Amino acid sequence: MKKIYLDNAATTPIDSSVIEVMQNSMQENFGNPSSSHQFGRKAKNLVENARNNIAKLFHVSASEIIFTAGGTEADNLILYNAVTNLGVQRIISSKIEHHAVSHTIVFLQDNYQIDVDFVELEPSGDVSIEHLEYLLKSSEKKTMVSLMYINNEIGNILPINKICNLCIKYKALFHSDTVQAIGHYAIDLQKLPIDFIVASAHKFHGPKGVGFAYFKKGLGIQPLFHGGNQEKGARSSTENVHGIVGMEKALVMASETLEKDKLVMNSIKSYFIDCLKELNSEIRFNGNSANLEKSSCTILNVSFPASNDMLIFNLDLHGIAVSGGSACQSGSNKGSHVLHEILIDDEEKFTSVRFSFSRFTTKSEINYTIEKLKKLL
């Protein structure tokens, strides 16, 4: 049986070059970066070199990069600091954010009595720019806007320049969960005035359990938890040296082939869309995911014209790994909160599947998937 991996928005396979770099680090660099002896200093140098190299990719200073255990911790660290350290009294977000953001906002609202407003969504899942501006000018409380750059379920790309301009106009802080964007789309933080972004290495062929938060210079940081005072006091915990080295390698590699990889993935995505349309003319695509200009090259969210509770399970039996967009497919009794917000009831009852691609995805894998979908549908 073939093994076809089309769930790259969940996690990506680690590149062999990343594995090699990490293996060498594990064998040669076991020192604790906080130790003052030569073994510790060597490990510390690796961490700081990685910080410098990652910072250069975003055109920021190394001091603005804080290493974390991934995107979820980075989002929590940023949102927590906004309220407890930077005086934010109000957060504007959307109802289709990743739970790392939405659940954290609920926690902060319950425990710190902040105001929370949700921007309206277009039927496509896009943020209403007009409503966002209305919300921004409706209060004089110190505000943070928290909107993800690329939606992890439907792939919609946020018009991030417009959001930045609005936040500057109304003096609001801007946090964007960029987990699905980093490693696939260039982000120049000198040209794009975002205050906070996050990354998770396993989304761009790096290791799991490591990521970073970017805090714009001048925005102070207080730790979520306390202990060894690492990361200049922003995050206590012995640094994941091998993970950080692996993330650096994966991100540098991704940045070197960014545009080429984007063309490859968009070609695969476009081919898959055409094949699906030929398979069944009633197939629909959720959000903007079929629009190559308005959605990520990595994500296609497909609504099949029937309710097929076992589709994802049966695809798995044929060796094809994908993600679901409804309760019966995800194993959750709540289903997809993203699709719930943008689909009408009649549309939501149909089976939706998220297919997601990487630079390693091939047309032969798409052909095999289409062949099995013909039988299963």
The residues annotated with a catalytic role in the active site are 328
The length of the chain is 377
- Give which of 300, 322, 301 is closest to 311, Cα–Cα: 322
**How is the chain split among helix, strand and coil, in percent rounded to 5?**
45, 15, 40
- Give the N- to C-terminal CA distance of the chain in Å, as an integer: 20
Q: Are strands 143-146 and 90-93 parallel, antiparallel or unpaired?
A: parallel
Q: What residues contact residue 324 under an 8 Å CB cut-off, 6+ apart?
A: 312, 330, 336, 351, 352, 353, 354
Burial 337-349 (b: 16+ CB within 10 A, else e): ebbbebbeeeebe
Which long-range CB contacts under 8 A does 309-318 form with residues at least 24 apart?
309/351, 311/351, 311/353, 311/376, 311/377, 312/353, 314/376, 315/353, 315/369, 315/372, 315/373, 315/376, 318/1, 318/2, 318/372, 318/376
Return the H-helix or E-strand segment holding 247.
Answer: helix 241-256
- The two tokens of residue 363 are 């047309």
- Can you give the C-alpha Rg of the chain in angstroms? 21
